[in-house]
Chain A
Amino acid sequence: EAQVTQNPRYLITVTGKKLTVTCSQNMNHEYMSWYRQDPGLGLRQIYYSMNVEVTDKGDVPEGYKVSRKEKRNFPLILESPSPNQTSLYFCASSLEVQPTYEQYFGPGTRLTVT
C-alpha cells in the first residue's frame, strides 16, 4: 500500500532532550516536506527536500533540522526542544517538485514538550 508513515505518532518529552521524528514513504517520491499544525495558525511548512541531499527552509525552520540521506526517509530533528514546539507535525511527499503532482500526507505526530 502506497503510504507515508511517521513515528512516533505521539510523543511527550521534556525541554532540551533531543528527539527525532521519522518519516518514510514507499512511493519513490522525490519531494518530501515537514509541516506543523497549530490552532489558529493552520499548517506551516518547516523544511522541504527536493531530492537526496537537497533540503531547504520553509516558513518556520527555527529550532529544527532535517536530513535526506535516502530517497525514502526524511527525519525531522529537534536538537533542543522547547515548549513552543508543542504541535502536530505532518510529513508529506509528492512524486516530483512539479505543480501537477498531488501531495500525500502522513498520519501526523503529536508532540508535547514540557
Chain B
Amino acid sequence: KQEVTQIPAALSVPEGENLVLNCSFTDSAIYNLQWFRQDPGKGLTSLLLIQSSQREQTSGRLNASLDKSSGRSTLYIAASQPGDSATYLCAVPSGGSNYKLTFGKGTLLTVNP
C-alpha cells in the first residue's frame, strides 16, 4: 500500500528565504506526482504535475523535482513571500492509474513579513 510522508509538518520562515518542502513515498512505481496548495478553508489548487519520466518541473518561483528510485520529491520555493503561506500537499496515483490519489498530510508553511 502506498504511503506518502511529508516532512516537516510545519515550517516558518522569514520573507525572501528560499525553502524546500519534502515528500517521500513508499512505492516507487508511480506515474506522476502532483503538488497542491491549500489555503485555509479553501480547496486544493494544483501547482505542479511532474511525470515519472521527468526529473524536474518549474512554474514561476516553484520547482519540483522527482527521484523515483529513492521515493522522493522536493518542492523548492524561491524568494518566499507572505502570500505563499498555505499548506502544501503532495499526492501520487495509486495502483498504476489515476483512480486514486494518495496524499501526504501536508506541510504548513508560514512566511513572515
Contact = CB atoms under 8 A, between A and B. Distances in A.
Please determine whether chains A and B interact with each other in the same assembly.
yes
Interface of A: 31, 33, 35, 40-43, 45, 48, 50, 56, 58-59, 90, 92, 94, 96-108, 110
B89 A43 contact: yes
A98 B97 contact: yes
Contacts of A99: 30-32, 52, 93, 96-98
A100 B42 contact: no
Interface in B17-69: 30-32, 34, 36, 41-46, 49, 51-52
Contact of B103 (A33, A43, A108): A43
A35 B103 CA distance: 11
B50 to A, nearest CB: 10
Interface residues of B, number: 27
Contacts of A45: 100-101
Given A102-B46, A105-B44, A108-B42, A97 B98 contact: yes
Contact of B99 (A40, A41, A56, A102): A56
A107 B43 contact: yes
Given A92-B101, A97-B99, 9 more contacts: A45-B100, A56-B99, A58-B100, A97-B98, A100-B32, A103-B101, A107-B42, A108-B41, A108-B43
A90 B106 contact: no
B19 to A, nearest CB: 21
B100 A33 contact: yes
